[in-house]
Structure 1
Amino acid sequence: MKLHTGSLYWESTFTKEGFAEVKRQDLYDVAIVGGGMSGALTSYVLANEGYSIVLIEQGEVGGGSTAANTGLLQFSNDIMLHELMEQIGEEKAVEFYRTCKEAMIHLQDVAEHAPFDVHFHTRESLYYASTEEDVVRLRKEFEVLQKYGFPVEFWELEDIKAHFLFSRPAAIVTAGDAEVNPLRLCMGAIQYAYEKGMDIFEHTEVLGILDTEERVFIQTTNGEFQAKSVVVTTGYAPTPDMVIPQKDLKVTYAIATQPIEDLSFWHDRMMIWETKRPYLYMRLTDENRIVAGGLDQNMDTIPSSQEDIDKKFKQLKQELQELFPNQKFHFEYEWTALFGESTDELPVIGRHPFERNIYYLIGLGGNGTVYSMLGAYLLRDELAGTSNPNESILEIER
């Protein structure tokens, strides 16, 4: 399945190096299937716990959807906290949001321990009401976030106009969010675990997984691996007899400008997104480029028509230009990506319902990197037999 097309900006910022060939161990503590962001963050967390780990990737690590990620990291989610309360209950919803906030701290820890700069920067986010009708909903969300101690401010129209050249009816400003180069973060986490002894096998496709009482046998195009536990992080079914539950597919679009010399029109390098669905979101990079994305569509594959794709890119550029009408932007990168989103807008994390030694970490949705980070710690607890408050919220069958 093709996961992305077009020119990917992040690939221009990092040169991958290969990993040394190793003799596989007879039995690993954990085998991680998938070398994208979820696999990378899981390897980082489990390497710190002293597990012997093998990472199995059918292509090259960091070569899938990770390079198409736009790198906005936020504790707020596509589903607002007050709406999640209605869906799963107040206590569970607040716990999940608090864990997302904690994941932001853990992601900064990964960035600080990576063997090279991953361009992680703490930022505020501006979440604006796209229309007057969205203001009531946005204010309700602000009040709930404030009630439970999340770092938020409410901006009226005049507040937005005082900081930006555009105006919107209202906005929530959240603190403690961050931006990152997602490809460098993924490769940094993997390199960290590799230097702690993790074995990496690229170009190794999983053909079958057999769970027995004592160990799991993983059949691949590169022979057999054995592990006490397996964590599947691929986002797609690695074998015909496995399924990824709770999943819908969407296509998203992203663009990146050429570097911009004067960014005085962009207040405090904030990340920006909106209440409309599908929404527009944007951020700045270390090279002072604007990366903007959105316009998601419910589709099982990337559109085959380049004309249809180009219409989406044109729409993205127009919406960005409408926010900053006096700025002249020159666009250099355009890409399209396929990603999964769960039917209840939450990730899928936990033990396989029928196989006791097989686990899933599928960071579905627009907040996938944060989900992957909190999921890595949830799996750490499950592997150790320790309770985790998110276990019942994110379990496979829910």
Structure 2
Amino acid sequence: MKLHNGTLYWPTTNSIELIVKSPKQPKKQYDAIVIGGGISGCLTAFRLLKQGLSVAIIDQRHFGHGSTAANTGLLQYSNDIMLSELIQQIGEKEAIRFYQLCFEALDDIEKIVNELPHEVDFQRRPSIYFASNQSDAVKLRTEYEALYMNHFPCEFWDESTLSFYMPFKKPAALVTLRDAEINPLKFITSLLNYLQDHGVDLFEETVVTDTSYENQLVQLKTTTHLFQARDVVYTIGYEKKHNAKKDDATFKRSYVMVTKPIQSSTHWHEKAMIWETKRPYLYLRTTAEGAIMVGGLDEKLSEATVDKKMIENYAQKLLKETQSLFPHLELEVDCCYASTFAESKDQLPFIGPHPTKPHHYYVLGYGGNGTVYSALGSKMISDLIAGSENYDAHIVSPQRKVETDSLPFFSIA
């Protein structure tokens, strides 16, 4: 499955070299094998390594060539489903706890970044979530009260306050503090270097063809070797094979446009990340190189289009929307691409053990906050594999239920 098409931005910024030194033969047995070498896989391998386990990562592509290369690198504790909405969906206690997990995940990512040997452009930023229309201003006020009452750092801006800090007028905005941005490709390239240097075996261009459970070990048949492990973790992002069936998740495609570097970000409050209440939503961030990265215009089609002209047309639409927010800037498209992503029906990730296959686990960060979900998911999975109690795992369990559905969400072949 082709996860993206067009001209990607992050590869043009990544000067970190990764030389994969795969052993000629895998170990006779690993404690854990991670399938998928993107952000979810690397974070999971990092956690398992810290548990003292022997770990291998298998990727069907070259590392960094999957969804991570198209990831826009926004890290937020707020989610596509607002806290006030999530409270109605799963109850106050668990909704607040899920938001706390997302907030804690940002700190966890920063701690990991500080252990890495390279700069990965991690920067704390506020996020400005503006009301696309007047009625949404009321929703944002309700959300602000839910966040503030539960001690999440945030502010509520009315129209005049927003226009003071930014060059556009909108009815209101919710500002969340202590969010962050990152260069996702630099992040995993540096992380893979760290993992390899600390004993994690890396195998790229290795496709898993069959799995079984024999003699208390997971047997993985691949196009290159036979692997054995006590546990296996699928961190396969938006790959449909071995993933949730269509009733569990919606696969879509989105578009991203990156401008040429701008001369000044004056009147852009603290280079905040920006998004809006309408759906599908527009979102924006600046980059370390001085460009503006803009995403949106989601479509209910799972395959990233290969039509170059279509991608360029969507880029011009994104450019036009960006120019309407920042009329004082001279903007020009530099890169543009289409990419595949997925959302679960309840807007939460799928993290946990397979319901019937022993020692098979999943970290699937479906939704607009996938990197944060990957961070909290890797922590949960490492606890479960180590035999430690994780009191939050049920919130994102693949077998969870919601009021509108009496059957488990998740189903894996």
> Shorter-chain-normalised TM-score: which range?
over 0.9
Which amino acid counterpart does residue 206 of structure 1 have in structure 2? V
Conserved? CA contact 1:29–1:227, under 8 Å:
yes
Sort the Cα spacing of 1:238 and 1:160 in 2 relative to 1 into closer, same or farther, 3 A. Answer: closer
- 1:379 positional shift: 0.3
- 1:18 positional shift: 2.3
- 1:80 positional shift: 0.3
Question: Which residue in the other structure is 1:166 paired with?
Answer: 168
Conserved? CA contact 2:60–2:204, under 8 Å:
yes
Structure 1, residues 187-219: CA drift from partner, whole Å, max 9, x if none? Answer: 222222211100001111000111235110000
Structure 1 position 91 matched with structure 2 position 93: yes
- 1:65 positional shift: 0.7
Question: Which residue in the other structure is 2:368 paired with?
Answer: 366
- 1:96 positional shift: 0.4
- 1:224 positional shift: 0.2
CA distance in 2, matches of 1:72, 1:106: 15
Q: Per the alignment, in what secondary structure is the counterpart of residue 265 of structure 1?
A: coil
Sort the Cα spacing of 1:377 and 1:332 in 2 relative to 1 into closer, same or farther, 3 A. Answer: same
- 1:244 positional shift: 2.1
CA distance in 2, matches of 1:21, 1:179: 31
CA distance in 1, matches of 2:172, 2:238: 39
- 1:235 positional shift: 2.7
- 1:261 positional shift: 2.0
Q: Per the alignment, in what secondary structure is the counterpart of residue 263 of structure 1?
A: coil
Structure 1, residues 71-92: CA drift from partner, whole Å, max 9, x if none? Answer: 1100000000011111111111
| Larger CA deviation: 5-14 vs 18-27 | 18-27
- 1:305 positional shift: 3.8
| Larger CA deviation: 102-111 vs 259-268 | 259-268
Conserved? CA contact 2:58–2:204, under 8 Å:
yes
CA distance in 1, matches of 2:240, 2:206: 11
Structure 1 position 48 matched with structure 2 position 50: yes
Structure 1, residues 340-380: CA drift from partner, whole Å, max 9, x if none? Answer: 11111110000000012000011111100000000000101
Q: Per the alignment, in what secondary structure is the counterpart of residue 98 of structure 1?
A: helix
Question: Which residue in the other structure is 1:256 paired with?
Answer: 258
Which amino acid counterpart does residue 5 of structure 1 have in structure 2? N
Question: Which residue in the other structure is 2:397 paired with?
Answer: 395
Give the % identical residues: 42
CA distance in 2, matches of 1:243, 1:12: 30
Question: Which residue in the other structure is 1:17 paired with?
Answer: 18
What is the 5 A alignment of 1:315-330?
315-330=317-332
Question: Which residue in the other structure is 1:31 paired with?
Answer: 33
Conserved? CA contact 1:55–1:200, under 8 Å:
yes
Conserved? CA contact 1:43–1:190, under 8 Å:
no
Which amino acid counterpart does residue 399 of structure 2 have in structure 1? E
CA distance in 2, matches of 1:255, 1:151: 30
How many residues are treated as equivalent by the alignment?
396
Which amino acid counterpart does residue 52 of structure 1 have in structure 2? S
Q: Per the alignment, in what secondary structure is the counterpart of residue 51 of structure 1?
A: coil
What is the 5 A alignment of 1:81-160?
81-160=83-162
What is the 5 A alignment of 1:260-271?
260-271=262-273
Q: Per the alignment, in what secondary structure is the counterpart of residue 316 of structure 2?
A: helix
- 1:17 positional shift: 2.6
CA distance in 1, matches of 2:157, 2:388: 41
Sort the Cα spacing of 1:236 and 1:78 in 2 relative to 1 into closer, same or farther, 3 A. Answer: closer
Q: Per the alignment, in what secondary structure is the counterpart of residue 273 of structure 1?
A: strand
- 1:300 positional shift: 2.0
Structure 1 position 187 matched with structure 2 position 180: no
Question: Which residue in the other structure is 1:233 paired with?
Answer: 235
CA distance in 2, matches of 1:92, 1:375: 16
Q: Per the alignment, in what secondary structure is the counterpart of residue 216 of structure 1?
A: strand
CA distance in 2, matches of 1:330, 1:32: 40
CA distance in 1, matches of 2:226, 2:85: 46
CA distance in 1, matches of 2:170, 2:215: 58
TM-score norm. by structure 2 comes to 0.93
Which amino acid counterpart does residue 10 of structure 2 have in structure 1? W
Sort the Cα spacing of 1:203 and 1:123 in 2 relative to 1 into closer, same or farther, 3 A. Answer: same
Structure 1, residues 107-142: CA drift from partner, whole Å, max 9, x if none? Answer: 101211111111000111111101111011110000
Question: Which residue in the other structure is 2:407 paired with?
Answer: none
Sort the Cα spacing of 1:29 and 1:376 in 2 relative to 1 into closer, same or farther, 3 A. Answer: same
Question: Which residue in the other structure is 1:70 paired with?
Answer: 72
Q: What runs of 5+ residues in structure 2 fail to find an aligned partner?
A: 401-413
Conserved? CA contact 1:135–1:169, under 8 Å:
yes
Structure 1, residues 36-67: CA drift from partner, whole Å, max 9, x if none? Answer: 11101111111111110010111111110101
Conserved? CA contact 1:207–1:238, under 8 Å:
no
Determine which of 310, 313, 320 is the counterpart of 1:311.
Answer: 313
Conserved? CA contact 2:11–2:185, under 8 Å:
yes
Q: Per the alignment, in what secondary structure is the counterpart of residue 110 of structure 2?
A: helix
Sort the Cα spacing of 1:293 and 1:227 in 2 relative to 1 into closer, same or farther, 3 A. Answer: same
Question: Which residue in the other structure is 1:382 paired with?
Answer: 384
- 1:238 positional shift: 8.1
What is the 5 A alignment of 1:330-349?
330-349=332-351
- 1:330 positional shift: 1.7
CA distance in 2, matches of 1:21, 1:135: 54
Conserved? CA contact 2:235–2:362, under 8 Å:
yes
Q: Per the alignment, in what secondary structure is the counterpart of residue 154 of structure 1?
A: strand
Q: Per the alignment, in what secondary structure is the counterpart of residue 60 of structure 1?
A: coil
CA distance in 1, matches of 2:279, 2:239: 28
CA distance in 2, matches of 1:214, 1:149: 45
Which amino acid counterpart does residue 11 of structure 1 have in structure 2? P
Sort the Cα spacing of 1:164 and 1:387 in 2 relative to 1 into closer, same or farther, 3 A. Answer: same
CA distance in 2, matches of 1:303, 1:389: 41
CA distance in 1, matches of 2:203, 2:313: 40
Question: What RMSD, in angstroms, separates the aligned Cα atoms of the two structures?
Answer: 1.4
Structure 1, residues 239-294: CA drift from partner, whole Å, max 9, x if none? Answer: 6xx44252210101111111112221312111111111101111111111111111
Question: Which residue in the other structure is 1:196 paired with?
Answer: 198
Q: Per the alignment, in what secondary structure is the counterpart of residue 264 of structure 2?
A: coil
